[in-house]
Amino acid sequence: MTGLQGPLPRSTDMSTGKLIQAPAAWFALLRSHPELDPADSQHAPLKLTVSRAARLIKVNKEINKSIKFRNDEGDVWQVGTTEGDCEDYAIRKLRTLVQDHGFPRGALTLAACKLDRGVGHAVLLVHSDKGVYVLDNLAWRVTPWHKLPYQWIAREEPGAPFRLWRSLSA
């Protein structure tokens, strides 16, 4: 998992469905980290400049390198530090992009999916004017969502009433 990544290939938007209940562990995360709550944001794609694309690539690689994978006992969502599982990587990337790089919260959403072998997984989605991209602990590259063999389940819905999530379909 090494090598340089060139410009991001064009992606597409994701098809979305109805509002659904958010994962319980997500609510616990927001209680301990209210700065990550997307309730006051509106879902809005960002303009993907060369500079922003470079920052996405850098943050994805740096965080993938800095955290050692470890399965949680139970479903615990937290900001990854030195070790964690997939959602811990995604949450750390979210926090880093918003707090350290000024990305708008409404363009970044945590998402739940299943790997091709049916195992639950979480990633960070970046919604842009060039489509939706995935920052994933399983990949060094920032990837268009439709290039991954995942079954998409749901994502955060910034600004949604009652902190609901949005169902997804491929």
Which segments of 5-150 are extended strands (E)? 15-20, 68-69, 83-84, 108-114, 120-128, 131-135, 143-144
The string of pLDDT tens digits covering residues 83-122 is 999 999 999 999 999 999 999 999 999 999 999 888 999 9
The string of pLDDT tens digits covering residues 44-64 is 999 999 999 999 999 999 999
Domain locations along the chain: 15-169
Angle value at C-alpha 13, between 137 and 102, nearest 5 degrees: 60
Q: What is the pTM of this model?
A: 0.93
- 15-169, what's its fold? C8orf32 fold (3.10.620)
Angle value at C-alpha 106, between 56 and 83, nearest 5 degrees: 50
